[in-house]
Amino acid sequence: MFEIRIHSRGGQGGVTAAKLIAQAAFHDGKCATAFPFYGAERRGAPVVSFVRISDEPIKVYSQIRNPDMVVVLDASVMDSTDVLAGLKESGPVLINTAEPPAIEGHPVHAVDLTGIALAQDLVVAGSPILNTPVLGALARLGLVSKESAIAAIAETFSDPRNVVAAKAAYEEMRA
């Protein structure tokens, strides 16, 4: 079982990102579950969501304590949250940033999802949409196939710019 924890801020689409990853994994023929931790959500507050991907049916409902991978949709969350908490040894970190920080012991993958979203004018209520481009970046890392990522996005959103942004993130992904 592969476990992913996503850090974002309320309104950035971290919860939907988790659903889209599960949907893409499902298209890859895997079992997947996605769920957020719901607190007193409000725009701008740090939010955590989770994805489990497995070849077998998933029976675990509790939160992910030792993720295999961490995704950070808003790097400013790292000022107040230990996004590496419980992350497995050498577990990768995908960060939405143009200036990747060095993190000891973990490979850092950086991509400017905000820039990609703004280039497509993918903005809702003042917030750039990050949950569709991040699928492209995760497909580049091999978490899900590119075809399944695009299928999951196309099923969920009718605006074709979401797929364009995901493809752009796939291309721009730096290791």
158 near another protein, judged by CB under 8 A = no
Smallest separation (angstroms) from another protein to the CB of 91: 19
| Total residues interacting with another protein, rule: CB under 8 A | 19
Query: What binding mask, one character per residue, do residues 21-60 give for another protein by CB under 8 A, x or -?
Result: -xx--x----xxxxxx-x-------------------xxx
Smallest separation (angstroms) from another protein to the CB of 78: 23
63 near another protein, judged by CB under 8 A = yes
Which residues, including other chains, have CB under 8 Å from residue 48's CB and lie 6 or more apart?
5, 6, 7, 14, 36, 37, 63
Q: Where are the alpha helices (DSSP H) in 3-128?
A: 14-27, 113-119
Sign, CA dihedral 4-120-78-7, equals: negative
How far apart are alpha carbons 69 and 17 in whole angstroms? 14
Q: Is residue 48 within 8 Å of residue 7, measured between CB atoms?
A: yes
- Which residue, 26 or 170, has its beta carbon nearer to another protein? 26
Which residues partner with 69 through β-bridges? 4
How far apart are alpha carbons 47 and 77 in whole angstroms? 9
154 near another protein, judged by CB under 8 A = no
19 near another protein, judged by CB under 8 A = yes
Q: Which of the ranges 20-28, 70-78, 113-121, 139-147 carries the binding residues for another protein, by CB under 8 A?
A: 20-28
131 near another protein, judged by CB under 8 A = no
62 near another protein, judged by CB under 8 A = yes
- Which residue, 152 or 173, has its beta carbon nearer to another protein? 152
132 near another protein, judged by CB under 8 A = no
How far apart are alpha carbons 108 and 49 in whole angstroms? 20
Virtual torsion, Cα 147, 142, 31, 1, nearest 10 deg:
180
For another protein, the binding residues (CB under 8 A) are 18-19, 22-23, 26, 31-36, 38, 58-63, 65
